[in-house]
Structure 1
Amino acid sequence: MPDVSEVFDNIESRPTTQVAALDLGSNSFHLVVARIVADNVQILHRIKQKVRLANGLDQHNILSQEAIDRGIDTLKVIAESLKGFEPDTVRIVATYTLRKAKNAKEFIRAAKKVFPYPIEVISGIEEARLIYSGVAHTNQDTGQRLVVDIGGGSTEFIIGEGFDAKLLRSLQMGCVSYTKRFFSGGELTRQAFKKATTAAQQELELIDDKYLKTGWQTCIGTSGTIKAIVLLAQSLDESNPEGFVALDDLEILRNQCIDAGHIENLQFEQITPDRRPVLAAGIAVLIGVFKSLKILTMEYSPAALREGVLYEMEEQLSHRDIRERTAQSLATRYDVDTEQAKRVHNTALSIYDQCRKGWKIGGQENNNMLGWAALLHEIGLQINTRGVQRHSAYIIQNVDLHGFNQEQQSLLSILIRFHRKKVRPEEIPEFWQFDAQVVFKLLALLRISVLLNIKRQDDIIPEFDVDASENKIVLTFPPHWLEQKPIFMADLSREQQYLNALGLELKFA
């Protein structure tokens, strides 16, 4: 038997990484802190702060200053729990309300002043994928599963098997938005429940046929609304299976709410007081879900979006970034010329490596974005060779890119949109994760790499040196080589003018 001290020495010597995931939801902000040990995610602690961000969203999708202030005040509190974390070990994702808000940048701008980590606004499909990932890593059921997550502003529906999500949708219905829409005065009437449930079923008309045809063996519900409802269902009858809810339970709970008459009269001891104001809307939505999708019973899972984020961070830290698979899959789907993509990719990353110190553009994320842009820059060739940059950018901007948040997807689209022809800086949006000068320099590197491989052949361009400093980049070719390539030299001269629009100076010799 080994010495006990040796066993503990071995345990202590295992590499561990502490990570944190923060979900800026429409109802609550959730922080989960975990450590990664031997490819396993171990949850250390959780923090939940009720914010009800969606309450501040008006009919014009403008987020009120009061809601922004509530969110920023909450971030100040959470920031204390994240002191000492390295930037690449913290990921913050924002969902429905900040997706929807036209003035979301005001929130993010204010957040940057009190919170040192970038906020990623993710699409509904990406939110659904991450939710499913969280469930798939923690539930051991077999066969196909339907996962339902009722949030504050949206509800996600995913059908998958194992770790593979097959159908993903996000519908605009949630416990906070429906409370505001159908129960704003606090009155709990049968008519209000009927209207809310009917509205939910109308939303579900978008997906119910396809989901019912696909089918599932188990149905799983996640997040706070379903957790509260499952707790209440258990209290109705002790013989009810623990952790499950059925349609009969939901209808009893609805009737109890109607009997109470008003949100303030609800006496459900099993749930926290701050959950009660949005409970009725959650019940109404879930009744609509059960009826439209013909669900018999639903099991609660404690895993949700933030757990999915944590497991994805573990994969990225282990160099298994899902975005790499997404980019490769997209290249295959659109029959990209892989040989040319590799040439541009290799050239771009080689030049990037020589420029990153002089241009101060280091960091794995910048390297990744440049590489994926190089891989996918000709994805629009299937549409038309003319204006390929516009076609490629359109595809990237509008396709579901699993693993990419909205800013990353937008940056990828911008890099590809302006990889050739005239650059229009005024059409390049403001980014929060990426500095404007870094974006311009990544674009310059992609453009130069495409130009260097314009002949679409190997070994056409000789070895050359690259030097970068401040806003200047210098390409140095072997003596007299450029003199023998007048057309290529003319191309470089034209590129000088294009890059001037970005405030960058290209020199070559």
Structure 2
Amino acid sequence: MSPSESVFEAVESRDTTKVAALDIGSNSFHLVVARINAGSVQILHRLKEKVRLAAGLSEDNVLSDEAIERGLKMLQLVADSLRGFEPDSVRIVATHTLRRAVNARAFINAAREVLPYPIEIISGVEEARLIYQGVAHTNHSDGRRLVADIGGGSTEFVIGEGFDPLICRSLQMGCVSYTNRFFADGGLKAKNFNRAITAAKQELEMIENRYKQLGWSQCIGTSGTIKTLFSLAQRDKSNGHDEPVTLKSLRNLMKSFIEAGHTDKLTMPEISDDRRGVIAGGLAILIGIFESLGIDTLQYSPAALREGVLYQMEDELKHTDIRERTAKSLATRYDVDTDQANMVLTTTLSLFDQASGDWKFKNKDFRAMLGWAALLHEVGLQINSRGVQRHSAYILANVDMPGFTQEQQDLLATLVRFHRKKIKVAEIPEFQLFDSNAVKRAICLIRLGALLNIKRQEAFLPEMKVNASKHALTLTFPAGWLETKPIMSADLQQEILYWKTLELELVIQEN
């Protein structure tokens, strides 16, 4: 055996995990494939394609057939790159355009035929948080930093410190939407830039005071648009070093665009062919950001949403889940009775563990979602004890919940909404990632968890046996226990009637 053949024989191999993240953006689709080795994320492969979904979104928020077809064509390329990946090692997130599109489900259903992985439509706040995670894990900074990401349809803003985002916002302005709105014919006139900058500053009015109050010591920009603008602002630097972008350099850049007169004449090598058509809208937005927030300088970071997704996957592989922190934060904010919440949690998860084998909850999130629903089912008590299930559901459906996708947040709100009283089947949403029958069974389990602890007394419940079949669940109590608890017995009989609404049977018996 030659030295080259034996050189690695004594080297210990490390366990590695291969993961992938796909960002379905309004302008581009970005795929990143990486391996996780010793807690480090190592990028193996990148794939980027301009799709411009946002350009196919009508004023009525209908995504055109042509835009859908462009997206599906790109997903076919992605499918080739992801062949052989396990479902848990791939995460696909969709942003602004699919958040707005009324026919987003049509795209997702068609995508399912191309890619065997679920697509999650994430909220703007969650997008901002993930962008910050990508920056925080790849850029060292002392003190607070402001991160801005100009996408095709929205722009995200985060102020954070270390790995912790302090405030996250998403505003409805992007390089594609602003180009369509202010530079549709390709003309680059001063009046068009001024209108676009003013529109951006009007949008920024919603956040500027709060952001200025928090403050930051460093400003970082991400996204392809900011990368291009950063490179253009650097082109006249004689020292060869990257220097921060300033408002003056951006204003000079706008002047050169106006002198060119049309996007077709933007022939600078820093502007790619597919970026040329939308760069003017991005420049106007960035100038508006500088002027509204009083930014002195901006640095560029190549890490963004997909890297943030990868690092969160790495965190989850180490069994740290930011959703736990979110749930705890909400419980504190809304002064939840934690003793009661933990009793409901214990009972609900015990029921789940005993029933899950026969009820086949295929999505691994159900147990965690039931746990969080149990912990947070009474957040609405701060509004009113009457109709607490409705108040709690409203809070959970509308509050910012870092770490939760929109579907997960909707499921959480649904479980809490129907944890007591009547079940209105027509009000149960249709989920993309969660099977409808499994959702109904999960509702039943949290209802039982809450009902069995309605006395709010520790050690009140006896040992129970749980048996599940396809359409039924049987609770077996110790002989004579129900006779000593007539109110609980009556509540359980009423619950049997509620379950029939979901076409499920609850059987109550004693040994």
Q: TM-score, normalised by structure 1?
A: 0.97
Structure 1 residue aligned with 2:136 = 136
Would the aligned equivalents of 1:132 and 1:165 in 2 still touch at CA under 8 Å? yes
Q: CA deviation at 1:213?
A: 2.3
2-structure distance, mates of 1:426, 1:183? 45
Q: SS at 1:80's partner residue?
A: helix
Give the match for residue 414 of structure 2: 414
Counterparts of 1:4-153 in structure 2, within 5 Å, are 8=8, 12-153=12-153
Task: Provide the C-alpha distance between the structure 2 equivalents of 1:481 and 1:310, rounded to a whole number of angstroms.
Answer: 51
What CA RMSD, in Å, does the superposition of the two structures yield over aligned residues? 1.7
Partner residue in 2 for 1:452: 452
Measure the CA separation in 1 of the matches of 2:10 and 2:166.
Answer: 41
The CA deviation at 1:402 is: 0.7
Show structure 2 runs of 5+ residues with no match.
none
Q: How many pairs were matched up? A: 507
The structural deviation recorded for 1:211 is: 1.6
Distance in 1, matches of 2:234 and 2:280, equals: 17
> How far apart, in 1, do the equivalents of 2:119 and 2:249 lie?
39
Distance across 2 between alignment mates of 1:409 and 1:346? 21
Aligned counterparts, 1:483-498, within 5 A? 483-498=483-498
Q: Distance in 2 between matches of 1:258 and 1:37?
A: 49
User: What is the CA distance between 1:479 and its match in structure 2?
Assistant: 2.2
Given the two structures, how large is their TM-score scaled by the length of structure 2?
A: 0.96
Quick one: which amino acid aligns to residue 54 of structure 1? A
Distance 1:240 1:202, change over 3 A: farther
Post-superposition offset of 1:381: 1.1
Are the structure 2 counterparts of residues 11 and 447 from structure 1 closer, same or farther at C-alpha, using a change threshold of 3 Å? Answer: farther
The match for 2:266 is 266
Change (3 A) 1:164 1:298: same
Name 1:233's counterpart in structure 2. Answer: 233
> Partner amino acid for 1:24?
I
Deviation at 1:329, TM superposition (A): 1.2
Shift of residue 177, structure 1, vs aligned partner:
0.4
- 1:240 Cα offset (Å): 6.7
5+ residue gaps in structure 1? none
Deviation track 1:338-383 (CA, whole Å, cap 9, x = no partner) reads 1111111111111111111101114431111111001101111111
In structure 2, relative to structure 1, the CA distance for the partners of 1:4 and 1:38 (3 Å cut) is: farther
Whether 1:399 and 2:373 are equivalent positions in the alignment is: no
Mark the CA change 1:442 to 1:12 in structure 2 (over 3 Å): closer, same or farther: farther
Taking the aligned partners of 1:362 and 1:199, their CA distance within structure 2 comes to 47
Q: Which residue pairs with 2:343 in the alignment?
A: 343
CA distance in 1 between partners of 2:10 and 2:364 (Å)? 31
Q: Write the distance in 2 (CA, Å) between the matches of 1:62 and 1:28.
A: 18
**What residue number does 1:171 align with?**
171
Distance across 1 between alignment mates of 2:355 and 2:399: 31
Q: Which residue of 2 aligns with 1:308?
A: 308
Letter in 1 for 2:113: K
Give deviations 1:143-194, integer Å, cap 9, x for gaps. Answer: 1111110000111111111112112111111100001101111111111111
The aligned residue for residue 321 of structure 1 is 321
- Matched residue, 1:466: 466
Cα-to-partner distance string for 1:102-150 (whole Å, 9 max, x where unaligned): 2211211211221111111111111111111111111112111111100
| Secondary structure at the counterpart of residue 30 of structure 2 | strand
State the shift of 1:486 in Å. 2.6
Residues 393-434 of structure 1, C-alpha deviations (whole Å, 9 max, x = no match): 111111100100111001000000000000011001110010
C-alpha displacement at 1:391, in angstroms? 0.8
Q: Partners in 1 of 2:449 and 2:105 — Cα distance?
A: 33
Q: What is residue 506 of structure 1 aligned with on the other side? A: 506
Q: 1:457 to 1:95 in 2, by over 3 A?
A: same
Per-residue CA shift, 1:203-227, capped at 9, x if unaligned?
1111112222222111100010000
Give, in angstroms, the shift of residue 501 of structure 1. Answer: 0.8
Q: Distance in 2 between matches of 1:323 and 1:351?
A: 22
